[in-house]
Structure 1
Amino acid sequence: MIAEMKNNHPHPLSWRLWGLLLLVAMVWLIEAYDIGLTGTVLPSLKAQWHLSAWQSSAVVSAPTLGVALGVFPAGVLADKLGRKTILQVALLYYTTLTVLTGLSDNWTMFVILRFLAGLGLGATFPIPYTLFAELAPSHARGRSAGILDAFLSIGYFTSPFLASWIIPYGGPGGWRQMFYLGAFGYLVLIAIMRFVPESPIWLSQTRSAVNPSSKKLWSPTFRRQTAMLWIAFPAVLLLFYVIMNFMPSLLIKEGFSAHQALLFASLIMAASIPGKLIESWLVERIGRKPLLISFTLFAGLFALLFSHLHQYSEIIMAGMALSFFGIAVDPAMKIFTAEQYPTAIRAKGVGAAEAVARLLGGALAPFILEQALSSSGIQGTLIFTAVVTWLGTLALSLWAKETRFVALG
């Protein structure tokens, strides 16, 4: 089994590795569904609890702040205790907190539970692509990440799609049912415990001595890539949060009904699924750096275009293009991040980059975006999004080094 998973394996993925890939992908599908709940239930919470702009921002930012605080410690622990161990504990924890969120009877309780669930979501996020970067052969790492990430988009699509039917017809408590469906995570946990192995590269690393100086993310060896990732990753994740958490509100502001906004938001999110599948093919052919630069460049352009359109059909098409490039770039960013560091600090480096990205792009930015939406409308919101995205493009252009086919050590 371990020999089959070594990174220099020259053959295509075996059926067993494909099965493991799909099983690990289910973790991200459940997690994406969970994260997508925030944006999909926000209009219902605004109406039921009469939330102010600040309270709405807190609803959006609470789980993301939890993710930002949970992701780095999880990376450190995953380097010490193993990838599978942290994945199992985190999945059990956030599934339980998600189900409990459905019992919230006020804004305060909701925000607290979403923050606590976010800690577990953060602990989960870096593990699947760190684990599979160490399971897959080097020539298939990018493709594996693209397929894994496509399941994130399926989860993000599932959340608003189900909400478009459950919430309008489920009465005042329709939004609660969305959280109860998160209990499916328990079934995924059982399958992970039974079938997913620990990373053989990590197991091998724990048996050998590691130079302590090589464990510092800001050492001369790693500070260039760390700085680049801490700029580019937040820019990429900002695109995701704009589409996931603000798209229903943006569409409602454009005149769509609540049902239409949720339905079309799910359609816009679905456009990222073929985007990620195409990305998974391109990233192994043109490389990580060219793909990251081109996709972020186009995403910024379509964000600007979206802000200047008024016809419903044009808005939907621009939103789908924004999703195609802006969310489909995620798997390349993630596998590129995992390839920047050696095994001894890979999960730590990935966790740190994710933490910074989610703190800046997911927790801080929503407050700015909510205020921009209230004061400057859609144009101000999406101009800000485009500018931040292109800052990430600039960082990648100046400092990124290609890692395609590089063996992990």
Structure 2
Amino acid sequence: MNTTPPSSVSTDGLSRTERLDRLPVTKEHSTLLTRSGIGWALDAMDVGLIGFIMAALTVHWDLSKTETSWIASIGFIGMALGATFGGLLADRFGRRHVFALTLLVYGIATGAAALSTGLVMLLILRFLIGLGLGAELPVASTLVSEFSPRAVRGRMVVLLEAFWAVGWIAAAIIGTVLVPRGDDGWRWAFAVGVIPALYALVVRWGLPESVRFLESKGRHEEAEATVRRFENSEPGPGFLQASAASATDGGLDVLDEAQRDAAIVGAGTEGSEPVTGIWSPAMRKRTAAFWTVWFCINLSYYGAFTWIPSILASNGYSLVKSFTFTLIITIAQLPGYVCAAWLIEKWGRRLTLTAFLVGSACAAGLYGLADAEWSIIAAGCLLSFFNLGAWGALYAVGPELYPTPLRATGTGAATGFGRIASIIAPLIVPPLLVFGGTGILFALFGVAFTIAACAAFTLPELKGTALAER
């Protein structure tokens, strides 16, 4: 009996991953993107709702600003742990299984949060919600990245991240409509968050497992069946396809072996060193820069957007009006993602990420100076546009930096480190507001965005290169 596993190389000499790289975008790709994106949007909806719930509970439970801050921060502590261990679990047990588990955990915990009888119970459930939320994001981006054709890989991941805006807009609508409706409005907002637990079933049985992961575990027959499923699928939407101007050899930039190795290793690293971990000599510079970007963008994003509804309310605006302002500002996230999705395959990953971070720094400065209603909305929309475009580019960069055995671990570790900043951010907002007001607060966020832009510019440009296998 022949026990030799099926070869990963087809009769035309291409490996399974090369066959995936050379495909046009198919309906299977668009289905994967949509189903993963729905999970992503549900995640964003849960994170976005907490800003509205915080503003309401400050009134209904007579919470201090410190107590309110902990409602946000305890969730981010869970997200930090979830992101770190979620990536490790995904590299060991598979992307799809961990993705489904994360949806189940935070969906059930969110529904239970609607029954909270006091602050302590809510904090415990917020921590559990954070565990699920934090683990999902690096796993979903890794799964989509590993299936995407090379010529549009960055665009696909940015479009996945664009579902965050959809979820955040849904949160703004739910927050505006439900939360102000009496003392129990916030409970109904939490109750809506149980939907991810049901959607976990769709993810578990509807999404394919990563071909790269299957091959790394010796499951070659499953890997071959998955590749054929994509090869036999009909073409997907035209807007997802690679443009003719950027495509050669069926949509790919053809690199010889030396060029590919140089691109994957990146300038300034030691390509001859074995890649044994994310802090090995060949990886340490990019890991340090990647972690810096993650930390600074988390500090600014969650410090600003978690507190904007409460800051507006404390400045004299009613809950309904402050929530409406937040909804308008949130809508500006969508064009930011669309612009980043287009530019990332035109300008490349590094320049797109850096440009949007610089724009975020300028927008943060403008928001700190805004005092009239029109200027608050305008500066807020600019901050949404640039900040969320930067998020999209960042998620596209991450999976490309590491080889397959370390890909989910590397992205998860960076996400986990960044969550430290998201834990700190809500806690530093109240004292900074007392010390120097909105101007000082958003000046700090502008500085953080500037540091992130400098770190992003040191990352290697990996547009058009194959994902590294080892």
Tell me the TM-score normalized by structure 1.
0.94
Contact 1:96 1:183 in 2 (8 A): yes
Question: What is residue 423 of structure 2 aligned with on the other side?
Answer: 363
Change (3 A) 1:8 1:199: closer
3-state SS in 1 of match to 2:461: coil
Q: Does 1:68 align with 2:127?
A: no
Question: What is residue 240 of structure 2 aligned with on the other side?
Answer: none
Distance in 1 between residues matched to 2:423 and 2:135, nearest whole Å: 16
3-state SS in 1 of match to 2:278: coil
Distance in 1 between residues matched to 2:205 and 2:433, nearest whole Å: 47
Q: How far 1:190 moved relative to its partner?
A: 1.9
Question: What is residue 189 of structure 2 aligned with on the other side?
Answer: 178
Distance in 2 between residues matched to 1:314 and 1:129, nearest whole Å: 35
Q: How far 1:20 moved relative to its partner?
A: 1.4
Equivalent residues in 2 for 1:104-123, closer than 5 Å: 104-123=116-135
Equivalent residues in 2 for 1:214-233, closer than 5 Å: 214-233=275-294
Question: What is residue 15 of structure 1 aligned with on the other side?
Answer: 27
Distance in 2 between residues matched to 1:365 and 1:348, nearest whole Å: 24
Q: Does 1:402 align with 2:461?
A: yes
Distance in 2 between residues matched to 1:363 and 1:43, nearest whole Å: 18
Question: What is residue 4 of structure 2 aligned with on the other side?
Answer: none
Q: How far 1:7 moved relative to its partner?
A: 6.9
- State the percentage of identical aligned residues: 31
Contact 2:365 2:443 in 1 (8 A): yes
Contact 1:215 1:344 in 2 (8 A): no
Distance in 1 between residues matched to 2:135 and 2:176, nearest whole Å: 29
Instruction: Determine which structure has the larger helix proportion and give its number.
Output: 1
Equivalent residues in 2 for 1:189-200, closer than 5 Å: 189-200=200-211
5+ long unaligned stretches in structure 2: 1-9, 220-272
Deviation string 1:268-326 (CA, Å, 9 cap, x unpaired) is 11101111011111101100111111111111111111111211011101100010001
Deviation string 1:55-114 (CA, Å, 9 cap, x unpaired) is 111111011110001111111111111101111111111110010000001111111110
Q: How far 1:199 moved relative to its partner?
A: 0.3
Distance in 2 between residues matched to 1:7 and 1:359, nearest whole Å: 39
Change (3 A) 1:99 1:333: same
Tell me which of 315, 319, 330 is aligned to 2:376: 315
Distance in 1 between residues matched to 2:84 and 2:325, nearest whole Å: 34
1:219 corresponds to which letter in structure 2? S
Q: How far 1:226 moved relative to its partner?
A: 0.7
Q: How far 1:334 moved relative to its partner?
A: 1.1
Contact 1:36 1:245 in 2 (8 A): yes
Q: Indicate the structure (1 or 2) with the bigger Cα radius of gyration.
A: 2
3-state SS in 2 of match to 1:172: coil
1:384 corresponds to which letter in structure 2? L
Equivalent residues in 2 for 1:142-181, closer than 5 Å: 142-169=154-181, 171-181=182-192
Output the aligned Cα RMSD.
Answer: 1.8
Question: What is residue 334 of structure 1 aligned with on the other side?
Answer: 395
Distance in 2 between residues matched to 1:81 and 1:51, nearest whole Å: 42
3-state SS in 1 of match to 2:439: helix
Distance in 2 between residues matched to 1:37 and 1:244, nearest whole Å: 11
Distance in 2 between residues matched to 1:237 and 1:269, nearest whole Å: 17
Q: Does 1:351 align with 2:412?
A: yes
Contact 2:300 2:425 in 1 (8 A): no
